[in-house]
Amino acid sequence: MPHIKVKPFDTSKIDNIKGVNFHGKESGFNNELLLVEINNKAFAFDIIKRDKEYLIKPTKITKGSHIEDIKSFLNRLINELNLEVINKNTNAKKEIAKNKELFLKSIEDFYNFKSSFKKIKLEVGFGSGRHLLYRANEEKDTLFIGIEIHTPSINQVLKQIHLQNLDNIIIVNYDARLLLEMLPSNILDAIYVHFPVPWDKKPHRRVISKKFVDEANRVLKKDAPLELRTDSDRYYNYALEVFSSFKRASFSVKKNIDIEIVSKYEQRWRKMNKDIYTLEFFSLEDSKPKNLEIDFSFKVQKNELRFPKESIVKDDFFIHFSKEYKSVKDQKVVVECAFGSFAMPERKLIYIDGNSAKYYPNAPVKSLANFKAHQFINEVINGKCN
């Protein structure tokens, strides 16, 4: 991410820069936080103070945001405050990112999701993208949603989308278990989970679970399949147990059956004479619509704020308050907080100004785990939890 290292300077001058709406110091430390509005977008920057240099960089909540806007603000700091630069990586450049703008979607894009395509299919953990790209080429009337958390794989597939002139793929860098919560009921024609990480030593991290299959059942159309392929005997037996746990279920099992496209990993495993299992779990009926109307507003009734130092861990969510900042000019407070799902936690700032509070830079994803955590955070802010 862009950052600058500069000689120490009088940081109170920052308050005169247009767009900075919070300038606060971290409680118990000399580090500072800037909340900034750039082109109607919200950003947060850390000033980490050392004896001979100050490091100014985007915070973790700003990670992945608009790079050129971040560079522009850091260059403004240098120019408007006449800072002595030790080093920087803020040279502006034109990004060849049209394919990212068109095909790389955020989780919020799936609120009230609709599509003009006749069919919609989803692949979880597409890796090299060989299966995803093949399907998209073969089924032009189908929109394919590819989910992946490995950035190099995402960039490679985005490049191939451009080279192959495809317009029926969208990519999401997120956890599949939470993305399914965002999708409307009865919208998918298939879900592919091909060769997921077995996680033999940490089975709780596996994609396939009773909860995941429940959500898959809801978003799949009647008779549409959730297709799992694996070379792991343990994962096969585990998935078979999960599928069998449903009171009513329809699923099939195949072994060493060829499909139209084979990944390089599957080719390697076949040469090693490893067995390949294919399990399909079918949705039996249409599901009821899901309501995503979740309210993340706060009601602040307590003036004295105390945040627990220890993490709050419940069965299906957690909360951890970390850094707390107090404004250098008024009574505003900002606290950094990680919360929600163990698999894909949110990291936000909570901006508290008198009797009002809000998440910064934007509201959390509308997942059930985030909402449960939010309700608990609201109680913490109002002193109702010890």
Q: How far is CA 291 from CA 146, 316, 359, in A?
A: 24, 20, 22
198 has a pLDDT exceeding 50: yes
Question: Is residue 198 one of the residues assigned to a domain?
Answer: yes
Span of 24-38, 235-249, 299-313 with lowest mean pLDDT: 299-313
pLDDT of res. 278: 96
Cβ–Cβ < 8 Å for 24, 325: yes
What is the Cα–Cα distance from 310 to 119, expressed in whole angstroms?
47
- In whole angstroms, give the CA distance from residue 190 to residue 202: 27
One domain, residues 259 and 364: no
What confidence score (pLDDT) does residue 95 get? 44
Q: pLDDT category, 323, cuts 50, 70, 90?
A: very high
> How many percent of the chain have pLDDT more than 90?
61
For residue range 33-90, list pLDDT tens digits in order.
999 988 788 899 999 999 999 999 999 887 655 777 888 899 999 999 999 999 998 8
Residue finishing a domain among 261, 282, 303: 282
Point out the least confidently predicted range of 64-68, 76-80, 186-190, 329-333: 64-68
Q: Which pLDDT belongs to residue 272?
A: 85
Cα–Cα distance, 47 to 70 (Å, whole number): 14
Mark whether 81 and 116 lie in a shared domain. Answer: no
Closest CA to 296 of 358, 349, 350: 358
One domain for residues 46 and 170: no
Burial of 102 (0-12, 13-18, 19+ CB in 10 A): middle
CB atoms within 10 A of CB 191: 26
The answer to whether the bond into 184 is cis (omega within 30° of 0) is: no
Same domain, 276 and 362: no
Domain residue limits at 22: 4-88
pLDDT in tens, 89-114: 888 654 445 566 789 898 888 988 98
Same domain assignment for residues 336 and 265: no
Shared domain check, 366 and 253: no
Provide the pLDDT for residue 386: 57
- What is the rounded distance in angstroms from the CA atom of residue 223 to the CA atom of residue 110? 23
